[in-house]
Amino acid sequence: MSSSIVPASTGPHKTHCPYCALQCGMELTPVEGTASSTPAPGGREPLPVTVNPRDFPTNAGRLCQKGWTAAAVLDVPDRITTPLVRGADGELAPATWDEALELITARVRAIQAEHGPEGVAIFGGGGLTNEKAYALGKFARTVLRTPNIDYNGRFCMSSAAAAGNRAFGVDRGLPFPLTDLGGAEAILLLGSNPAETMPPFVQHLAGARGAAGLVIVDPRRSATARLTEDGQGVHVQPVPGTDLVVLLALLHVVIAEKLVDTAYLTERTAGYDDVVRSVSAWWPERAETVCGVPAEDLRRLARRLAAASPARGGRGAYVLTGRGVEQSAQGTATVTAAINLSLALGLVGREGSGYGCLTGQGNGQGGREHGQKSDQLPGYRKIDDPAARAHVASVWGVDPDTIPGPGKPAVALLNSLATPGGPQALFVHGSNVLVSAPNADRVRERLEALDLLVVCDFVPSETARIADVVLPVTQWAEEEGTMTSLEGRVIRRRQAVDAPGQARSELWLLAELARRLGSGVHFGTDPADVFDELARASAGGPADYSGLSHARLDAHEDGGGSGLYWPCPAPADAPADASGDGHAGSPARGEHPGTPRMFLDTFGTPDGRARMVPVDHGGPADDVRGDAPTYLVTGRVLQHYQSGAQTRRVPDLDRLVPEPYVELHPQLGLRVGVADGDRVRLTSTRGMVEAVARWTDAVRPEVVFMPFHWGGLGGVNRITSDAVDPISSMPEFKVCAVQVSPAGPATASTQDDHDTQEVPV
């Protein structure tokens, strides 16, 4: 609470928004004492810092509603400020750090004595700083010696990462600066709604809109789809789960009408002939019968995209994908089809054109590069690569043979909890799996069956409320560190205020647990020192940070720069032809300037060529049928973020969207007997949810949409599918089959007790 928050130092402090991967630049100015000259909105107590946007490249002086109100999360009334331990009465009660850590240490030792190292697991988060993500992976593999670590980034970018690694030999969400989009003549955007999820992004679409070249593929007429109105582009509204068919048909047209960049394909790619054969069956008329997009529309879109390509004298074109097409049992195949289309048009590795993926979480890019994924080591190295293991082991000071092999990806890990041979204890950092995981009721059963559940958080999320131990940790404005934006831009997060009460950084926590568990491995607690170690561990890997440090990033920004892009190797490995980012703060002699644009000369594959891989459409794992004839799609709203644990506590945001809802077409409402404003029930094979119905023609008549920011009776991920992509292990959040029916009025008895119980703070 505000009386316990004090400024860390006078400001303003240059830092970044705590929410999405756009990482908008902002300045925080601490308020002296507990009062400010301007009360918080609504007459509440003043906030501990004031927020102002900065002229940073991604946001250009703009912030969305979430960014403007970010300071409110620092001062929520139920902020966790002391460790909490569940007592014999079943209630969480305050405890000292020593009591909480001694309990954790004793239980971990007992569980591992009975079940082995694999008896303990870790589930991390894409919002953790690079330093904390690195330390968490190191802790799992050197102290716990468990392979069982994964993170909620598996729910975010794993399909795009798998497809990117397969095609390009390296995965970076946007392999070019976001500002490059502004000069494009055409942009094809599939499965993303940035007008609501990252509003400052929209300004970068202006060039394509002005050229009537913005193409949005979405089964809803979302806020982003509405940007195409008034002749500024095209909205393509396919049947849910058929985006892959749209892409296959577009490539079919490009090939059939000889719109490909033949010279580029010959010089820079492999596998084109196999892809030609694979798309030959997807002529537009056949595609129309599956995806619902008229054949002539598909032809016009393919021609428009090709006309903007460099090979045909256009000003440039981009293909961008997001969660709507990636969170699918064929997500890797869909992204692969988007990459194939981009390569056929000669877009990738050329300035002013390209393929990219819009990362969702604040550090979704950096969080997966340094050890939170079940199969990776720092630097985006594969954990089963002997050379990678030897290098990282030398930095950690351990025997390579003691580093475990690959563990279970997120869904498999959560489903294995408290099963014979599975983990009996789980540490959760930066994630709210009871709201964010698919088939969430099953996840609850697994968590409640554990011998030990430890949750590190700063607010009592739904997951924290069922934990055995809750540990209070610092949040964005209370800590130093680095984040990596959706462009691969490494930026500094800076502390503006001290954390309240007994909240501690996870760096301190992991070091203390390592000591108590008897590990001889060193764990630093200073973020700058931890980053230096991370940089050494990443050296030579695809995501090479070895030429970076807090000091260099600070000096770069003080010189007018705005972060540095990986790969950025240490001087001894710096290539002579690396191109800079055009910002002030030029590197000192011998320092690598960073890599804002990848693939200009070569790809990260052994022969330097991009791989084109044939794929085909199989449809959703949980498709519509007689007893579930309606598609459910899920997504976000402007005012809330991810599981809503933060934004639902901000009064100005919660007031605007205080509860979940279901969008359905009036035709569907009339057919099932659900009027606008009624309560509606959605039922899948995994359970049911209820919420208020909103009639709209923005969705197809056979589709309902529900945002996923809530738990309890309105927690839509209770009914989403946990079928996974066979390559990326991404769950199929974005499409499943449901029955739609009227629901009675909500009553107290229908609420989820675990999600509403009070937690002492």
494-522 pLDDT, tens digit each: 999 999 999 999 999 999 999 999 999 99
Decide: 165 and 159 in contact? Cβ < 8 Å: no
Cis status, amide bond into 629, omega within 30 of 0: no
Decide: 404 and 117 in contact? Cβ < 8 Å: yes
Reply yes or no on whether the pLDDT at 39 is more than 70: no
Look at 44-58, 365-379, 441-455 and tell me which has the smallest mean pLDDT: 44-58
Tokens of 323: 């969660």
357-368 pLDDT, tens digit each: 998 888 888 888
CA distance 503 to 30: 19
pLDDT-based confidence at residue 587 (cuts at 50, 70, 90): low
Decide: 140 and 514 in contact? Cβ < 8 Å: no
Tokens of 705: 């949409």
- Residue 2's pLDDT is what? 34
Reply yes or no on whether the pLDDT at 546 is more than 50: yes
Please give the backbone phi and psi of residue 682, each rounded to the nearest 5 degrees, phi first: -110, 130
Count how many residues are written for the chain: 761
User: For the chain, what is the total number of helices (H) and then of strands (E)?
Assistant: 24, 28
**CB atoms closer than 10 angstroms to residue 268:** 20
The domains of the chain, with CATH numbers, are 2-75 (2.20.25.90), 84-156+363-530 (3.40.50.740), 158-358 (3.40.228.10), 630-756 (2.40.40.20)
43-88 pLDDT, tens digit each: 455 678 999 999 999 999 999 999 999 999 999 999 999 999 999 9
H-type alpha helices, 257-294 = 262-268, 272-279, 284-291
209-236 pLDDT, tens digit each: 999 999 999 999 999 999 999 999 999 9
Helix axes of 158-168 and 331-344: crossing angle, nearest 10 degrees: 40
Helix axes of 130-138 and 527-538: crossing angle, nearest 10 degrees: 70
* Cα 543–chain centre separation: 18
- Write down the pTM of the prediction: 0.93
- Residue 32's pLDDT is what? 75
Q: What share of the chain is helix, strand, coil (3-state, %, to 5)?
A: 35, 15, 45
137-176 pLDDT, tens digit each: 999 999 999 999 999 989 988 999 999 999 999 999 999 9
- Residue 761's pLDDT is what? 62
DSSP letters along 11-63, please? S-EEEE-SSSTT--EEEEEEPSTT--SSPPGGG-PPPSEEEEE---TTTTT--
For residue 66, count CB atoms less than 10 angstroms from its CB and return exposed for 0-12, middle for 13-18, buried for 19 or more. Answer: buried
94-130 pLDDT, tens digit each: 999 999 999 999 999 999 999 999 999 999 999 999 9
- Residue 364's pLDDT is what? 87
pLDDT-based confidence at residue 41 (cuts at 50, 70, 90): very low
Distances (CA, A) of 358 to 191, 578, 719: 10, 25, 25
Burial 280-304 (b: 16+ CB within 10 A, else e): eebbbeebbebbbbebeebbebbbb
Distances (CA, A) of 332 to 145, 275, 731: 30, 15, 11
Reply yes or no on whether the pLDDT at 572 is more than 80: no
615-668 pLDDT, tens digit each: 999 999 999 999 999 999 999 999 999 999 999 999 999 999 999 999 999 999
Query: Token pair 């002529």 is at which residue?
Result: 283
305-330 pLDDT, tens digit each: 999 999 999 999 999 999 999 999 99
Mean pLDDT, rounded, for 451-465: 97
Mean pLDDT, rounded, for 446-464: 98
Reply yes or no on whether the pLDDT at 193 is more than 90: yes
- Residue 590's pLDDT is what? 79
Decide: 391 and 354 in contact? Cβ < 8 Å: no
Write the CB contacts of 567 (distance below 8 Å, at least 6 apart in sequence): 542, 543, 544, 545, 595
Burial 632-648 (b: 16+ CB within 10 A, else e): bbbbbbbbbbbbbbbbb
- DSSP 8-state code for residue 103: H
CA distance 222 to 192: 9
Write the CB contacts of 730 (distance below 8 Å, at least 6 apart in sequence): 154, 155, 158, 159, 326, 327, 328, 331, 332, 724
- Residue 576's pLDDT is what? 39
Better-predicted residue by pLDDT, 460 or 754:
460
- Residue 33's pLDDT is what? 62
- DSSP 8-state code for residue 693: E
- Residue 46's pLDDT is what? 65
387-399 pLDDT, tens digit each: 999 999 999 999 9
Reply yes or no on whether the pLDDT at 40 is more than 70: no
